[in-house]
Structure 1
Amino acid sequence: MPEHHTAPLLEVAGLHKHFPIRGGLLTRRTGAVRAVDGVDFSIEAGRSLGLVGESGCGKSTTGRLVARLLEPTGGAVRYRGEDIAHASRRELAPVRAEIQMIFQDPYSSLNPRQTVGTIVGAPLAIRRTGTASARRARVRELLATVGLNPEHYNRFPHEFSGGQRQRIGIARALALEPKLIVADEPVSALDVSIQAQIVNLLQQVQRDLGIAFLFIAHDLAIVRHFSHRVAVMYLGRIVELADRAELYGDPRHPYTKALLSAVPEPDLGTGDGEAQGRNRIRLSGDVPTPVDPPSGCRFRTRCPSAQAICGTTEPPLLPVPTATGQHLVACHFAEPLPAAA
């Protein structure tokens, strides 16, 4: 196992992204969508962090902020110790090659007018890497790496299935030998039979090339299979973050417990369609709007254990007693570690 005390490849601290709401004749700002509202996490080289939560919780926005496809409203995104949160286009140029993204939709993320060779080779051409013949050879090598026939070089995206298109997107992300890949729900648009193939491919790429991943998904089973650590996000904030085994084996936040209780499990002969011993937690109400999130704990409006303090004080993300001591929970009733004397 890699050492966990080494400096992280990526550190995110107090990350915010507020999208303004404008209205009226003068299009004045009338409010803001607080999509990401104070997020902290880190990823070590060669490791993976899974980011999970319901739709609209800010997962994809967080990924785009890390890849600097969006500029943060506030906070820091430190890559190799350098804050790139508000870096200029020129300052970002050396980093662009090392942070790549795999998009959710393998259909809209590929230009239908370009051949596979042009799409995968675009990063190499933009950076003028090698000669034209060297770039063509590199593209064919990448196609073979992701399980496609190098002879597909001159075909167009419409000639491929969804899983094959996603492999093309992965090959494009690998072209510049990145150190970090943001995978934004890379299998959610694919058939179930294809999802495992793509996840296994990404794991193989990680093992062979030592790439770190921010793996965004809403499917907790896939995240459990892929990620070393898992962060649970709710309404723009992380409410729990822990090693995979600890989070799935001993969840501490009520929201995490509810998400895990909703994961389908096989019926082991009970005959009632429920997994034996399953205690299903059904959340009431809808996710509040990020335009005006609840005071105090944002989950309190749906939490079965909410009390008075939850409405007045927002719980910080603090460590709780575990075997590793790296289990963080934002809950007033999650048994935080005692303060040092």
Structure 2
Amino acid sequence: MNETLLELKELVKHFPVRGGALIKRQVGAVHAVDGIDLTVGAGETVGLVGESGCGKSTTGRLAARLLEPTTGKVLYQGQDISHNSRRQLKPIRSEIQMIFQDPYSSLNPRHTVGTIIRGPMEVNDINPPGGRKKRVQELLEIVGLNPEHYNRFPHEFSGGQRQRIGIARALALDPKLIIADEPVSALDVSIQAQVVNLLQELQRDLGIAFLFIAHDLAIVRHFSQRVAVMYLGKIVEVGDRESIYERPRHPYTHALLSAVPEPDVSSEPRERIRLAGDVPSPINPPSGCRFRTRCWKAQDKCATEVPPLVRLSGNREGHLTACHFPEAPTTQGEDVVLDPALA
């Protein structure tokens, strides 16, 4: 087991909703993240998946401390940074970097590529051997771009090349953890594969840990060692890659995996699970299990009791599921009762 680099403990982020004609006052809250626990080990990639609006990007921003949590803790190398000031966070900023979703809006169009990548070094007063320009050109070469393009502007590059520039900027401070917020969703399929392969090479060569946020379960399976499934602000299932993809237990995970295209067209097509209704509003989430309003297995208990995230008997250690009536495992002879030691 790798040393824990990042730990989120009972993390909550509510955004206030204000109303009123003359005097604005809080009339509710958006439950973007509502009490999640998640860890990322040194050199590990953890995939975070779920539908749009489930809280994945907010979780990433909380982990990078771009947002301050409502309650709960963000621990980095055992240090609680949940409510640290900007001055207190400055030594940690260089070790936690982000790759943003949109390569078109995340780069300043008025700055050259050299200025964009050099910026983090200037802010943190870092002077690498040989100078900052040499380091920027080395980073451009690492991400597969021409070092001579140092003085070009973002509009002179394609979407995939712009995302590589964003990756180079994230690497400028030699981070230990990169939070990649859907880094390939805005790219063409052929370019997606190139960027994901680049991230894999960087992880292998530099030992960087990733929190990889994505919609595409096929890409997450290709890149991640562990996977967490999120629904409406809650983590409903988490485990190692093989366990989640081959033996999912939560109905929501089953539904997501049923939509993943089969690579072998000669095999019998998988039955698609179509979820009823829309995702409930995060302003007024359902009581009990939040997935119950769309779940085909929901019973009265699901409306009154929040299912705990626990290991079911027959599951691998570390594979946790939050469901009162989990799906039967694919392996013969396993039951679906809670492990007495963990219930």
TM-score in terms of structure 1 length = 0.95
| Deviation at residue 321 of structure 1 after TM alignment | 2.9
Q: 1:263 to 1:340 in 2, by over 3 A?
A: closer
Aligned partner of 1:18 in structure 2 is 14
2:138, 2:14 → 1: CA distance? 41
2:166, 2:269 → 1: CA distance? 41
1:34-45 pair list within 5 angstroms: 34-45=31-42
Aligned partner of 1:259 in structure 2 is 256
Q: 1:41 to 1:131 in 2, by over 3 A?
A: closer
2:263, 2:212 → 1: CA distance? 26
2:197, 2:291 → 1: CA distance? 34
1:325, 1:302 → 2: CA distance? 28
1:76, 1:129 → 2: CA distance? 30
1:145, 1:267 → 2: CA distance? 34
2:191, 2:243 → 1: CA distance? 28
What SS does structure 1 have at the residue aligned with 2:54?
coil
Query: Is contact 2:31-2:282 (8 Å) kept?
Result: yes
| Deviation at residue 184 of structure 1 after TM alignment | 0.1
What SS does structure 2 have at the residue aligned with 1:242?
strand
1:322, 1:47 → 2: CA distance? 25
Residue from 327, 334, 338 that aligns with 2:340: 338
1:29, 1:256 → 2: CA distance? 35
Q: Determine whether 1:290 maps to 2:287.
A: no
Aligned partner of 1:325 in structure 2 is 317
| Deviation at residue 322 of structure 1 after TM alignment | 4.1
2:292, 2:342 → 1: CA distance? 29
- Cα root mean square deviation, aligned: 1.5
Aligned partner of 1:135 in structure 2 is 132
Aligned partner of 1:239 in structure 2 is 236
Query: Is contact 1:321-1:327 (8 Å) kept?
Result: no
Instruction: String of CA shifts for 1:108-148, please: whole Å, max 9, x gaps.
Output: 00000000000001001111211796000100000000000
AA of the residue aligned to 1:221: A
AA of the residue aligned to 1:93: K
Q: Determine whether 1:101 maps to 2:93.
A: no
| Deviation at residue 47 of structure 1 after TM alignment | 0.2
What SS does structure 2 have at the residue aligned with 1:319?
coil
2:237, 2:39 → 1: CA distance? 13
1:15, 1:223 → 2: CA distance? 23
1:265, 1:292 → 2: CA distance? 36
Runs (4 or more) in structure 1 with deviation over 4 Å come to none
Instruction: String of CA shifts for 1:42-67, please: whole Å, max 9, x gaps.
Output: 01000010000000000000000000
| Deviation at residue 156 of structure 1 after TM alignment | 0.2
Aligned partner of 1:82 in structure 2 is 79
What SS does structure 2 have at the residue aligned with 1:301?
helix
Q: Determine whether 1:9 maps to 2:5.
A: yes
Instruction: String of CA shifts for 1:307-326, please: whole Å, max 9, x gaps.
Output: 11000000011112346311
Instruction: String of CA shifts for 1:290-322, please: whole Å, max 9, x gaps.
Output: 000000000000000001100000001111234
AA of the residue aligned to 1:295: S
1:196-275 pair list within 5 angstroms: 196-266=193-263, 268-269=265-266
Query: Is contact 2:57-2:181 (8 Å) kept?
Result: yes
1:19, 1:37 → 2: CA distance? 11
Q: 1:340 to 1:284 in 2, by over 3 A?
A: closer
1:50, 1:322 → 2: CA distance? 23
Instruction: String of CA shifts for 1:18-48, please: whole Å, max 9, x gaps.
Output: 0000010210000000000011010100001
What SS does structure 2 have at the residue aligned with 1:38?
strand
2:70, 2:243 → 1: CA distance? 32
Aligned partner of 2:160 in structure 1 is 163
1:23, 1:230 → 2: CA distance? 38
Runs of 5+ consecutive residues of structure 1 not aligned to the other structure: 270-274
| Deviation at residue 168 of structure 1 after TM alignment | 0.1
Count of paired positions: 332
1:255, 1:291 → 2: CA distance? 21
Runs of 5+ consecutive residues of structure 2 not aligned to the other structure: 327-335
Query: Is contact 2:311-2:342 (8 Å) kept?
Result: no
What SS does structure 1 have at the residue aligned with 2:239?
strand
| Deviation at residue 339 of structure 1 after TM alignment | 2.3
Residue from 7, 26, 30 that aligns with 1:29: 26
